[in-house]
Copies of this chain bind each other. A is one copy, B any other.
Amino acid sequence: MERKILLHERDIPKKWYNLAADLPSPLQPPLGPNGRPITPEMLAPVFPMNIIEQEVSTERWIDIPQEILDILYRWRPAPLRRAVYLEKYLKTPAKIFYKDESVSPPGSHKPNTAVAQAYYNKAFGIKKMTTETGAGQWGSALAFACNLLGIECKVYMVRISFDQKPFRKLMMQVWGANCVASPSNETEFGRKMLKELPDTPGSLGIAISEAIEEAVHDKTGKTRYSLGSVLNHVMLHQTIIGLEAKKQLEMVGIKKPDVVIGCAGGGSNFAGLAFPFVADKIHGADIDIIPVEPKACPTMTKGEFAYDHGDTACMTPLLAMHTLGHAFVPKPIHAGGLRYHGMAPLVCQGIVEGLMRPVSYHQLKCYESAMIWAKTEGTICAPETSHAIACAIDEAIKAREEHKEKVIIFTYSGHGLMDLTGYDAYLSGKLTDYEMSDAEIKESTAILSGLPKPPAKKTGKW
C-alpha cells in the first residue's frame, strides 16, 4: 500500500490549465466605475501587462516558463499522500488522498502564484511589489518569492495581526520584506484612517487600499500591486496542484476520483486542485466537487451571486461573484484565510453552472476533525485546512455507510505551526460556533442593491 505518491521532477506539469476556456458560459467581465467592462489598459497601473494578459486569457493551456519551474522545484512536485491511518480509524472502504501543499517553505499553497507573479513582474521590469496580508500566509509567500527573485517587497499587514501574530511577520523579515502595520503613515489613505480612527485594528479592506495606493502612486512606474487569490490568473497558477494530483492518481491506477474537496476563502486553494477535475466533469466524468467554507462566512452557500467590489473601500472593479457584500465583517474565527466576503469569479461561475457543490462547516467541528487528524495522520493542520478535512471525514463516513470504495481527494493547503493559538483557544474551551441568520445575510447583502446584476442562469446539465 502506497502512502506517498511521488512525481519525478521531470514529470512536473509544464502548462497551467485555464478553466475559462471550458466553462459552459463565458465569465462575466469585470466592470469599471462607469458600469462598463474594464479594459486591460485600465488595470495597467496596478498589474504588469503580462499578468493582465493572463487575467483575460481564454486559452486552455498556458506555458509555465522554465524560470518559474526552476524555483518551484525547491518543493514541487508536491507529494500526494494517502491518509491510510485516518482511513483505518474511520473504518472506511474509501481511499482518502491529500495533496500536500504544506511542504512549501512558507508552508501553504500560496507560493505557487507568488513565485509566478514575482517572475512576471520582474520580466516586465518591475522593481517592487506591494500587497496586503491578514494573518500573514500570503504576505510571507510573496516575501519568499520576491526574495528569491531579487524584487523589493512591501507588505501591509492588518494591524491587529501585526501586533498579535508576530511570527509570520518575522518570516517576512527573514525573507527580506518590509512589513508594516496597516493603517500606516506611509500612504494618504492610511494617514486618513489613522486620523479618523486612531485605535482601529485595521482591516483587509484598508490594507488593500494602502497597497494599491503605493503601487499606483510610485512615480518611477516600477511598482505594482499583487493579489493572492480571487483573480483568474491566481487560479491559473494554482492549477499545478490538480495537474500534478491527476498524474499521481494515475500512477496508482486511479482514473478519476469520486469526490474532490478544498477549503475556499478567496478560492485559489480549492481551484488549484479542483479545476483540472472540473474540466473532466464538463466532459462527462462523474465527480462530486466540493468547496468548503465556514458557516460564519458563508459566501457560496448563502451569499448572492452579484456584481460587487473586491475591497471595502470600493477601489477594485466590480466582479461577478458570490458575495456577502463588500462591507461585510465576519465574526472572528480562527481560519483567517476563509474570512473574505467574496469568492473567485471562476469558482462562482462553476457554482452557477452546477459543476461544484459548496458546503459550510462550523469551526468547532473543524477543530474536532483537526484533532482526529493529529491523532491519526500525525500532523497539525492549518485552521483553513481543517475545513477540508472535516468534509473529507464526512464523505468517508458516508462511503462506509453506503459500502462504496470511493476515492476522495482534498488539498492539505497548509500546516498549522503558525496557528497554534487557535488550537489553544479550542483546547481551553474558548471557541464558539457562529452561523449567520437569514436576516443578517439580508442586511449584509443590502449594499448590493444599487449595483449591476450578472445573469445567473445554468447553461449546462450538471
| Interface residue ranges, A against B (CB under 8 Å) | 2-4, 6, 9, 73-74, 85, 103, 105, 107, 144, 147-148, 166-167, 170-171, 173-176, 371, 374-375, 377-380, 417-418, 420-421, 423-424, 427
The reply to whether A380 and B4 form a contact with Cβ atoms under 8 Å apart is: no
CB closest chain-B residue, reference A81: B74
Given the interface pairs A105-B380, A378-B105, the reply to whether A167 lies near B420 with Cβ below 8 Å is yes
Tell me, in angstroms, the Cα distance from A171 to B381 when the chains sit together: 11
Task: For the complex, give the distance between the alpha carbons of A3 and B9 in Å.
Answer: 8
CA distance in complex: A166, B418 (Å): 11
State whether B171 touches A380 (Cβ < 8 A). yes
User: A173 CA to B426 CA in the complex, in Å?
Assistant: 11
Asked if residues A371 and B174 are in contact (CB atoms below 8 Å), the reply is yes
Contacts of A375 in B (CB 8 A): 147-148, 176
Q: Are A379 and B105 closer than 8 Å at their CB atoms? A: yes
Copies in the complex: 2
**Chain B: minimal CB distance from A344 (Å):** 27
With A173-B427, A174-B423 as known contacts, state yes or no: A378 contacts B107, CB within 8 Å: no
Most buried by B among A2, A9, A174, A421: A174
Tell which of B147, B170, B423 touches A173, judged by Cβ atoms closer than 8 Å: B423
Name the distance in Å between A44's Cβ and chain B's nearest Cβ.
Answer: 31
- Could you list 9 A-B pairs, sorted by A, with CB under 8 Å? A2-B9, A3-B73, A4-B9, A105-B379, A148-B378, A166-B424, A170-B420, A170-B423, A417-B417
Among A3, A74, A148, A378: residue with most chain B CB under 10 A: A378
Contact B174 A374 (CB under 8 A): yes
Nearest B-chain residue to A10, judged by Cβ: B2
Docked pose: A179 CA to B462 CA in angstroms: 52
Which of A85, A170, A171 gathers the greatest number of chain B CB atoms within 10 Å?
A170
Main secondary structure of the interface of A (DSSP, over half): helix
Chain B: which residue is nearest A85 at the CB level?
Answer: B74
Q: How far is the CB of A258 from chain B (nearest CB, A)?
A: 25
Q: Whole-angstrom distance from the CB of A379 to the nearest CB of chain B?
A: 4
On whether A144 and B378 interact (CB within 8 A), knowing A2-B9, A173-B427, the answer reads: yes
4 closest A-B pairs by beta carbon, nearest first, are A170-B420, A105-B379, A105-B378, A74-B378
Q: Closest chain B residue to A103 by CB distance?
A: B103
Chain B residues, Cβ within 8 Å of A73? 3
Partner of A170, one of B3, B85, B174, B421: B421
| Contacting pair B427 A174 (CB below 8 A) | yes
Task: Give CA–CA (A442, B380) in the complex, Å.
Answer: 46
Looking at the assembled complex, report how far the CB atom of A462 sits from the nearest CB atom of chain B, in whole angstroms: 37
Output the nearest chain B residue to A144 by Cβ-Cβ distance.
B378
Q: How far is the CB of A1 from chain B (nearest CB, A)?
A: 9
Within the assembled complex, what's the spacing in Å between the Cα atoms of A421 and B170? Answer: 8
CB of A445, distance to nearest CB on chain B (Å): 37
Complex Cα gap A3–B73 (Å): 8
Decide if B417 touches A107 in the complex (CB within 8 Å): yes
User: B residues within 8 A CB of A377?
Assistant: 74
B-side contacts of A3, CB under 8 Å: 9, 73-74
What residues of chain B lie closer than 8 Å to A171, measured between beta carbons? Answer: 380, 417, 420
- Contact in complex: B374, A175 (CB < 8 Å): yes
Complex-state Cα separation, A418 to B418, whole angstroms: 8
A334 to chain B, nearest CB (A): 13
Closest to A175 in B: B374
Q: Which residues of B contact A167 (CB under 8 A)?
A: 167, 417, 420
- Which residues of B have CB within 8 Å of A175? 374
A427 CA to B173 CA, complexed, in Å: 8
Residues of B within 8 A of A173 (CB): 423-424, 427
A391 to chain B, nearest CB (A): 21
Contacts A148-B378, A171-B380, A175-B374 supplied; 4 other A-B pairs, CB < 8 Å = A3-B74, A170-B424, A174-B423, A174-B427
How far is it, in angstroms, between the C-alpha of A14 and the C-alpha of B424 when the chains are bound? 38
Bound: A424/B170 CA distance, A:
6
Q: Please judge, given known A-B contacts A103-B103, A105-B379, A105-B380, whether A174 and B420 are in contact too, CB under 8 Å.
A: yes
Docked pose: A167 CA to B165 CA in angstroms: 12
Residue numbers in B under 8 Å from A170 (CB-CB): 420-421, 423-424
